[in-house]
Structure 1
Amino acid sequence: ILVILTSASLNLAFQNALQAADALKGQVNVMVVDSQTTSVGLGLLVQSAAEAVAQGQSATDVERMVRSLIPHIYMMVCTPGLSYMYHAGFLDQAQAFVGEMLGLMPIFTIEEGQISAVEKVRNTRNLVDFMQEFVCEFDELQHIAFIQSVPGLTHEAKLMREHAQNCFPQSPFSEHTINLPLATLIGPRSIGLVVIEKLEPAHRH
């Protein structure tokens, strides 16, 4: 059994799964993987694992592939709702209050499972510019995903889609509405981007 879970630093699911796997030791082989990401990043990782299973790969090979892919998944989110991050324990109250009062939209990355602030923008146009520059830093991408806020940002999604298709015409581009776990963490008005760097064949095994 292969279990792939959201980043251990974001909730307790990974630790709980480790305890459950330990309780079953000797009865069934349970492999628990910390995806070090969440939301769409986790979904794309699970999708890659499912495709490998469908191709007939063994559980051990799939686990190895998943672990090799994790460092190549990059996720960034931008949220105007800093009070959500305060309640989730990622910001102190003063930071959240001042940021919201000034109308700032901080951009955070999720790398190695940790949330880190990287930039602040004033509006969604600046955010799209930042995301477009980020995408262009890569040579090859396996997948590009845009996470929509609630309500959705049709114009911004269109700009990102056109830019991604111009830079990486062979790479799939998908759009997703922010899901409940991520919205609870960073707020429903948040916007995100997930990219998976394309692996060389030697790194797939």
Structure 2
Amino acid sequence: MSMKLIVDSGSDLPQNILEEYDIDLVSLTVHLDGQDYYDRDTISSQDVYNAMRSGSAPKTAQVTPDAFYERFKTYTDEGRPVIYLAFSSELSGTFQSAMIAKQQIDDQNPDAEIYVIDTRAASMGHGLIAYYTAKAIADGQSVQDVLDTAHYYVNHIVHIFTVDDLEYLQRGGRVSKAQAFVGGMLKIKPLLHVEDGKLVPLEKIRGAKKVIGRMADVVQERGQHFHDQTIAITHGDDEKRAQELANQIRDKYQPKEIIIYPIGSAIGAHAGPGTIALFFLDDAPKS
């Protein structure tokens, strides 16, 4: 039986890619105004951003072990190898939930093949890893070759992002209250990246207009082989600036493909509206 690839909603994978490659998606939970919702299922990112602009403070919860158990078992009962690519374990407990479920099934069925990989990535950083992995499965590669492909992209994905309002990162403990206040007063826009699965400040830039140009410049500094690459841009309800960034990247580097997609509820609840995120490889795609 063919391998089954599973991701969680922290990947922000476009729906057309999920459908084209038959990728299964499990949803993180969003707590908003006293109600629980499932990301991309019973709540949209637009709902979350509208609520945040009105003063609400949504929170998120990891996928439960029980949810993973049921999803994994659906495929292992058919004798299919399962590969789950997880939202960074430094940002969510979802990876650990999957490991608990894997152990339960392993104890019951030692022949089950479940491979859980911590992508150490978020949004379409995570999503690009899944996209390339899905292509490897579609190409008919062996389980080991597919796993090698996934690990290659885990080690070569670059995240660069900025937020419109530091208050949202402050709520999540990413910056101090004082930094958020001062940054807002001075119109400072943080440029951040992901290092070993964690959000890490990279630069401070004064003025929103300069941020997009600086993000495009970082592509040259950190990436290469753009003609062979798929570059992804995600946004928190700000498609105009996402397109502006895409146009600059297209003009400067002529990448093979640029994917633009909204940031989902799970990540948007922490990053806030106005977030712009950019994802690419620091090396050539795996041949």
Q: TM-score, normalised by structure 2?
A: 0.64
On the 8 A contact 2:231/2:255 being kept in 1, the answer is no
5 Å-filtered alignment, 1:1-205, equals 1-25=82-106, 26-137=110-221, 138-141=223-226, 142-150=229-237, 152-154=238-240, 156-199=241-284, 204=287
1:35-58: CA deviation from partner (whole Å, max 9, x where unpaired): 111111111111111111111112
**Which amino acid in structure 2 is aligned with residue 24 of structure 1?**
I
Q: Please give the alpha-carbon distance, in whole angstroms, between the structure 2 residues aligned to 1:174 and 1:4.
A: 20
On the 8 A contact 1:105/1:120 being kept in 2, the answer is yes
Q: What is the number of residues matched between the two proteins? A: 200
On the 8 A contact 1:107/1:120 being kept in 2, the answer is yes
Q: Please give the alpha-carbon distance, in whole angstroms, between the structure 2 residues aligned to 1:170 and 1:193.
A: 13
**Which amino acid in structure 1 is aligned with residue 128 of structure 2?**
L
Q: Secondary structure at the match of 2:128?
A: helix
- Residue in structure 1 matched with residue 62 of structure 2 by the alignment: none
On the 8 A contact 1:80/1:103 being kept in 2, the answer is no
CA 1:200/1:7 → structure 2, altered by over 3 Å: closer, same or farther?
A: closer
Q: Which moved more, 1:61-70 or 1:188-197?
A: 188-197
Q: Which moved more, 1:90-99 or 1:28-37?
A: 90-99
Which structure has the larger Rg over C-alpha atoms?
2
Q: Which moved more, 1:191-200 or 1:120-129?
A: 191-200
- Residue in structure 1 matched with residue 5 of structure 2 by the alignment: none
Structure 2 spans left out of the alignment, 5+ residues = 1-81
Alpha-carbon deviation of 1:170? Answer: 4.4
Q: Which moved more, 1:188-197 or 1:87-96?
A: 87-96
Q: Please give the alpha-carbon distance, in whole angstroms, between the structure 1 residues aligned to 2:248 and 2:166.
A: 28
